[in-house]
């Protein structure tokens, strides 16, 4: 049985290791969402938060795959864990377990994690941006095929997709990601987060203008103009705490 404090300590260790790898290899991550809010409001974790979120350029995600070497941690991505139903990459600690509803029944690594959201240039035109959103949703559905086989048995397409050879699946995955990237423009004022949510476009300046923040005794990279960013994500009252979390029962977590 694990406590929330033990989970946060494990995630802190992963984040510290990830920060070091990024510094050594020139990878430019940025803390976002609740992690950014925690850095500003609490100089560390939000007291009830059980997750770490960072943004990383799509190209740096490939570099991370190439330099990742660890016996303690596992880099979760399609190449390493084909059944994982995520668009983001995750770094998980080996020998731990923290399962949410999306993971149940799947043959995948379920260790305590941090989330790495990949992003690329947004399209400059409305049509290009709509096509990016369409492809992101298609990629999400595709990566969730093993999940849908377990939870949506009436949908006949997913069992067929699960029977495709793994090398072909990885090839198709890369082609979709490549199309999302090609649709983007360096001249666009926005980036697109490769995640199937309602808000996937963010002002480019938030990711390009970074600064270091204290985070539970460590330092991490975050958005320099935190007020504008956090106001856009959480509203002007972002300094007012609202309790939430990802895992309902910490009694099932193993750290």
Q: Is residue 77 located within the same domain as residue 199?
A: yes
Q: Are residues 49 and 69 in the same domain?
A: yes
Q: Where are the alpha helices (H) located in the chain, listed in sequence order?
A: 4-25, 33-41, 58-67, 126-143, 145-151, 157-162, 166-182, 204-208, 226-234
CA 144, CA 108: separation in Å to the nearest integer?
A: 12
- What's the pLDDT at 254? 67
pLDDT digit string, tens, across residues 117-132: 999 999 999 999 999 9
For 38, counting Cβ atoms within 10 Å of its Cβ (0-12 exposed, 13-18 middle, 19+ buried), the class is buried
Pairing of strands 113-121, 53-57: parallel
Q: 68 and 151 share a domain?
A: no
Asked whether residue 112 falls in the same domain as residue 171, the answer is: no
Tell whether 214 is covered by a domain: yes
Residue 23 CA to residue 137 CA, distance in Å, equals 32
Average pLDDT over all residues of the chain = 93
Output the pTM of the full model. Answer: 0.93
Q: CA angle 184-221-216, nearest 5°?
A: 145
We report the CATH number of the domain holding residue 59 as 3.30.460
Do 9 and 134 lie in one domain? The reply is no
Look at residue 89 and give its three-state secondary structure: strand
Does the residue 27 lie in any domain?
yes
Q: Write the CA distances from 13 to 70, 93, 177, integer angstroms.
A: 13, 9, 30
Total number of domains in the chain: 2
**pLDDT single digits (tens) 161-207:** 999 999 999 999 999 999 999 999 999 999 999 997 767 999 999 99
In terms of DSSP H, where are the helices of 152-255?
157-162, 166-182, 204-208, 226-234
Regarding whether 109 and 203 lie in a shared domain, the answer is yes
Distance in angstroms (rounded) separating the CA atoms of residues 194 and 124: 16
Query: Between β-strands 89-93 and 73-76, what pairing exists: parallel, antiparallel or unpaired?
Result: antiparallel
How buried is 52 (Cβ within 10 angstroms: 0-12 exposed, 13-18 middle, 19+ buried)?
buried
Query: CA-CA distances (angstroms) from residue 113 to 58, 89, 109, 186?
Result: 19, 10, 10, 31
Are residues 47 and 172 located together in one domain of the fold?
no
In a shared domain, residues 79 and 11: yes
Rounded Cα distance between 108 and 57, Å, is 25
Do residues 85 and 39 both lie within one domain?
A: yes
User: Which has the minimum average pLDDT: 47-51, 104-108, 121-125, 220-224?
Assistant: 47-51
211 and 95, same structural domain? yes
Taking each helix axis from N to C end, the angle separating 166-182 and 126-143, rounded to the nearest 10 degrees, works out to 160
% of the chain beyond a pLDDT of 70: 94
DSSP string, 151-163: H-TT-SHHHHHHT
Examine the domain organization and report whether 175 and 221 are in the same domain.
no
Q: List the domain range (segments joined by +) for residue 151.
A: 126-188
Banded pLDDT at 134 (limits 50, 70, 90): very high
Confidence of residue 214 (pLDDT cuts 50, 70, 90): very high
How many whole angstroms separate alpha carbon 56 and alpha carbon 119?
6
């Amino acid at each position: 049985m694990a406590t929330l404090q033990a989970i946060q300590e494990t995630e802190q260790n992963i984040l510290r290791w990830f920060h070091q790898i990024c510094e050594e290899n020139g990878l430019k991550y940025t803390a976002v969402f609740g992690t950014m809010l925690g850095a500003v409001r609490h100089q560390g974790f939000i007291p009830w938060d059980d997750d770490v979120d960072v943004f990383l350029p799509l190209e740096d995600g490939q570099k991370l795959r190439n330099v990742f070497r660890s016996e303690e941690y596992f880099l979760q991505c399609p190449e390493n864990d084909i059944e994982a139903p995520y668009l983001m990459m995750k770094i998980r600690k080996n020998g731990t377990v923290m399962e949410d509803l999306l993971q149940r029944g799947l043959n995948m690594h379920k260790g305590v994690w941090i989330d790495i959201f990949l992003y690329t240039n947004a399209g400059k035109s409305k049509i290009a941006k709509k096509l990016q959103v369409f492809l992101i949703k298609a990629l999400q559905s595709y990566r969730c095929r093993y999940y849908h086989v377990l939870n949506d048995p009436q949908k006949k397409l997913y069992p067929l997709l699960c029977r495709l050879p793994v090398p072909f699946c990885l090839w198709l995955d890369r082609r979709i990601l490549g199309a999302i990237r090609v649709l983007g423009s360096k001249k666009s004022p926005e980036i697109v987060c490769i995640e199937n949510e309602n808000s996937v476009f963010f002002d480019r300046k938030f990711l390009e203008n970074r600064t270091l923040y204290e985070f539970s005794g460590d330092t991490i990279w975050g958005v320099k103009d935190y007020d504008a960013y956090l106001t856009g994500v959480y509203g002007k009252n972002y300094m007012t705490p609202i309790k939430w979390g990802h895992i309902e029962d910490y009694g099932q977590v193993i750290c």
